[in-house]
Structure 1
Amino acid sequence: MNDVTIRHNPDRERFEVLVAGNVIGKAVYKDYDGGTSPQRIFYHTVINEEYGGQGLAGRLAAVALDETVDAGFRIVPVCPFIKKYITKNPDYAGDTAPIAPAHLEFLNDALAPRARA
């Protein structure tokens, strides 16, 4: 698949996979001030079903995690896919922060207004 683009869309707090200019997948995050270092909490990753099985989620995760580390953030893998990806790619382990109750509370508070809308 040659027309695949992966980009960071900071205004929407996500990394996106585009095919022919259409968003077909995303890795969504919230930035968190962890005190000692900035952290990026990844909480949801999805690829449209018709594009499954093509390795796009892995490509998306690699770009998202590389850009996150390059920007000076520690990775907080709340999303099961991102967590599994890090397990299979241990080079990211040193850039990962353990999930803490404060992360989950922050996410809950940050996402609650969207859930009510």
Structure 2
Amino acid sequence: MPPQDEQITVTRNDEAGRYEVTVDGAIAGFTVFEIDDDGRAVYPHTVVDPAFGGRGLGSVLVSAALADEAARGTTIVPLCPFVVRYLERTEVAGLVIAWPEVRS
């Protein structure tokens, strides 16, 4: 878990096509999304900088990103193994998921 005195934020960066998690203003990780021809957000990849590892930031990041997608009414396609595992363990209220035919 992150120390209580750290400022952690998750923001959507449409220009870069990703959600970013920052710790005290430094980008600690991101999850990439690509909008497909059907208007769905495809999530192929999530990265947390090893310098920020072990703090649960990946879960903080993905939780906020998927909650935002649910609020936007976006259907998501989880391809990233981290996002898939998160969704297998956690229900995100209102999130519409289009599972790929072949799941890893």
TM-score by length of 2: 0.84
CA distance in 1, matches of 2:36, 2:54: 32
The equivalent residue for 2:80 is 79
Structure 2, unaligned runs of 5 or more = none
| Structure 1 residue ranges without an equivalent (≥5) | 102-117
Structure having the larger proportion of residues in helix:
1
Q: Find the residue that maps to 2:40 and give its secondary structure.
A: strand
Aligned to 2:31: 27
Contact 1:74/1:95 (<8 A) preserved: yes
CA distance in 2, matches of 1:74, 1:63: 15
Query: SS at 2:55's partner residue?
Result: coil
The structural deviation recorded for 1:91 is 3.9
State the identity as a percent. 30
Residue 55 of structure 1 corresponds to: 56
Specify which structure has the bigger relative contact order, considering alpha-carbon pairs within 8 angstroms and separated by 6 or more residues.
2
Q: Distance in 2 between matches of 1:32 and 1:70?
A: 19
Report the Cα distance in structure 2 between the residues aligned to 1:61 and 1:77, rounded to whole angstroms. 11
CA RMSD of aligned residues (A): 1.9
Partner of 1:8: 12
Q: Match for 1:26: what amino acid?
A: F
For 1:12-48, what per-residue CA distance to the aligned partner results, in whole angstroms no more than 9, with x for missing partners? Answer: 11000112212110000101232xxx31000110111
